[in-house]
A and B are shown apart, each in its own frame.
Chain A
Amino acid sequence: MIAITDLEKSFGPKAVLRGITLEVPKGESLVVIGGSGTGKSVLLKCILGLVRPDGGSITLNGQDVTGKGREAFLARFGMLFQGGALFDSLTVWQNVAFRLVRGPDRRPRAEARAIAVEKLARVGLGADVADLHPAELSGGMQKRVGLARAIAADPEVIFFDEPTTGLDPIMAGVINDLIREIVAEMGATTITITHDMSSVRAIADKVAMLHAGKIRWHGPVAEMDSAEDPYLRQFITGAPEGPIETLR
């Protein structure tokens, strides 16, 4: 379980997170929505200890993330980054198998490669891409490789940062379905960040909306459409008029 309490983070004078409290129980799929630049990625990075919070606490299975628990947590963790974050000096299979050929549970290269090819097949990529470099792939294929890398070591917790941003609607649908299937099959606890409502409906058990550094609304996806909150309503409908300030 992931528990976040009163999390605060500023960059210089800019307060990005102003007291976030959230719980993600084991096995749940939480989707965090919110406009661009509202701090969704920063929230994930705080949980991972990649960004040091200014205040509040984050615990993973009861242990503080800043402490010894972090390494153990990361060992059973996978993440799909917003831009893919594939290592461009390594081939596709070496990216997918990165964790498998390193660390205490490392496997022989042939075995790791076989697992990588299997995971690539799981995300709909043939074995022929295994020896290409990430720069030779299209954006959608890079996302899939990122997904294969995230699930390569069968993690218990997975974060997806904007899995469908920058993809055409059909590819976005494919990625959404993949995420849902994989999560269901692995029983993993997941946090997905998106501003794509089709992803929300495909992936979420629970939805949290981030606005102005706080959680504006948090509830089951089934209650989202009937919720009264005007901010959430505006976000769902994509109306230009409403309480959320837009620059134009």
Chain B
Amino acid sequence: MGGGLALLAPLAVLGRATLALLAGTGRLTLFVLQILRHALTPPWYLRELGQQLLHIGWLSLPVVGLTALFTGGALALQIYAGGSRFNAESVVPSIVAIGMTRELGPVLGGLMVAGRVAAAIAAEIGTMKVTEQIDALTTLSTNPIKYLAVPRVLAATLTLPVLVAVGDSIGIFGGFLVGTTRLGFDAATYLDNTADYLELWDVISGLIKGAAFGFIVAVMGCYHGMGSGRGARGVGRATTKAVVSASILILGANYLLTEVFFRA
């Protein structure tokens, strides 16, 4: 009898984990639906939206810009090294541009913003939760999802494509710098090559990815912040969960979107 129960124990653990995952997914789905509903119905808090556009967009520029610059440079070196194995060094400009716009711009931009913004949102909202500020909002007839989550989600969804576009440009510029100073490309030829092979859809698809990743970042920050446990420990955990889950969801969503956009 005891032996039989011991055999069942791993199954019970598995079952509990599955149930927890399903319940979590359900809660998150409901949360997203609530955000969408509140985003579409008045009142809209435009002042908060403006502040978040500044916080999330403007203040993320240095991080995203630096990431793109170094990545573009490294990419040029790698493609040159790889290309030289079959005498195709001339592909450097076009592959740097395509790689940045389709993949690295949005993914690295999304991940950097996940680290910066999802953490900041979760910590801020989590602290508001444990200090009863969220309850205070409700007693002041203000819906916390409408007042806190909607402006953040809108701001992140709108600004991440812009950040990605800036990152794309800086990344291509990083490749150009390395290409012309270290790899012996002629500046005019490098730029011609970039422009000739880059298609509009390469850029647009990356911007769409950026919007999706911005949405993910802000939703995970708000979701975990509002679900924060009590005390400083609760807020710390919420912050970690927000960053980890946003990063993983970004990578997963990136694969899915790439599959949808580019499968031959």
- Which residues, 133 to 163 on B, are CB-close (under 8 Å) to A? 133, 135-136, 138-142
* A75 adjacent to B135 (CB under 8 Å): no
Interface size on B, residues (CB 8 A): 13
The CA-CA distance from A149 to B139 in the complex, in Å, is 11
B130 nearest CB neighbor, chain A only: A83
Chain A 88-119: CB-based contact to B (< 8 A → 1; otherwise 0): 11000000001100110000000000000000
Q: Which residues in B have their C-beta under 8 angstroms from that of A71?
A: 141
Q: Quick check: is A45 within 8 A (CB to CB) of the other chain? A: yes
Which residues of the partner chain B approach A85 to less than 8 Å between Cβ atoms? 131-133, 135-136
A81 and B132 form a contact (CB under 8 A): yes
Cα of A85 to Cα of B141 in the assembled complex, Å: 15
Interface string of B205-237 (1 = CB under 8 A from A): 000000000000000000000000000000000
A74–B142 Cα distance when bound, in Å, is: 10
Which residue of chain A is the closest to B132 with respect to CB atoms? A85
Contact of A87 among B133, B139, B141 (CB under 8 A): B133
CB distance from A16 to the nearest CB of B (A): 14
Asked if A77 CB lies within 8 Å of chain B CBs, one says yes
Complex CA distance for A185 and B142, rounded to whole angstroms = 27
Report the Cα distance A81→B172, complex, angstroms: 53
B43 CB-CB contact with A under 8 Å? yes
Q: Chain A contacts of B132 at CB under 8 A?
A: 81-83, 85
A50–B136 Cα distance when bound, in Å, is 10
Given contacts A82-B132, A85-B131, A85-B132, contact A50 B138 (CB under 8 A): yes
Q: Are A102 and B139 in contact (CB under 8 A)?
A: no
Judged by a CB distance under 8 angstroms, whether A3 is at the interface is: no
A32 touches B (CB below 8 Å): no
Query: Across the interface, do A75 and B141 meet the contact criterion of CB distance under 8 Å?
Result: yes
Residues of A with C-beta under 8 A to B142: 98, 102-103
**CA of A98 to CA of B124 in the docked complex: distance in angstroms?**
19
CB pair B136–A74 under 8 Å, yes or no, is no
With an 8 A cutoff between CB atoms, is A65 at the interface? Answer: no
Q: What B residues does A82 contact at CB under 8 A?
A: 132
Query: Which A residues are in CB contact (< 8 Å) with B135?
Result: 45, 48, 50, 81, 85
B229 to A: closest C-beta gap in Å = 12
Taking CB atoms and an 8 Å cut-off, the chain A residues in 136-192 that contact chain B are 149
Q: From DSSP, what is the main secondary structure of chain A's interface residues? A: loop
Closest residue to B45 on the A side, CB-wise?
Answer: A102
CA distance A57 to B146 in the complex (A): 28
Q: Known: A81-B132, A82-B132, A83-B131. Is A99-B138 also a contact (CB below 8 A)?
A: no
* Pairwise interchain contact A48-B131, C-beta atoms closer than 8 A: no
Residue of A nearest to B51 (CB): A89
Give which listed residue, B128, B133, B141, contacts A99 with CB less than 8 A.
Answer: B141
Compute how far the CA of A79 lies from the CA of B128 in the bound complex, rounded to whole angstroms: 16
Q: Smallest CB-CB separation from A150: which chain B residue?
A: B139
Chain A's nearest CB lies how many Å from the CB of B223? Answer: 19
Cα separation A89 to B151 with both chains bound (whole Å): 15
Pair A103/B141 contact, Cβ less than 8 Å = yes
Would B140 and A99 count as touching, CB distance under 8 A?
Answer: yes
- Chain A 203-239 against B: per-residue CB contact (8 Å), 1 yes, 0 no? 0000000000000000000000000000000000000
Across the interface, do A77 and B43 meet the contact criterion of CB distance under 8 Å? no
Of all chain B residues, which has the CB nearest A45? Answer: B135
Closest to A49 in B: B138
Nearest opposing residue in chain A for B133, CB measure: A85
A79 to chain B, nearest CB (A): 5
Residue of A nearest to B47 (CB): A101
Within 8 A of A (CB), among B105-122: none
Contact of A79 with B141 at beta-carbon distance under 8 Å, contacts A85-B132, A85-B133 already known? no
Nearest chain A CB to B134 CB, angstrom units:
9
Q: Are A48 and B139 in contact (CB under 8 A)?
A: yes
Cα distance, A99 to B141, chains bound together (Å): 8
Task: Report the Cα distance A83→B142, complex, angstroms.
Answer: 19
Within 8 A of B (CB), among A48-85: 48-50, 71, 74-75, 77-79, 81-83, 85
What's the minimum C-beta distance from A224 to chain B, rounded to whole angstroms?
Answer: 29
CA distance A75 to B139 in the complex (A): 8
Least distance between A44 CB and chain B CB atoms (Å): 10
CB pair A74–B131 under 8 Å, yes or no, is: no
CB-defined A-B contacts under 8 Å, sample of 21: A48-B139, A49-B138, A50-B139, A71-B141, A74-B138, A74-B140, A78-B139, A81-B132, A81-B135, A81-B136, A82-B132, A85-B131, A85-B136, A86-B133, A86-B136, A87-B128, A89-B124, A102-B140, A102-B142, A103-B43, A103-B142
Contacts A50-B139, A81-B132 aside, 5 further interface pairs with beta carbons under 8 A come to A50-B138, A79-B136, A83-B132, A85-B136, A89-B124
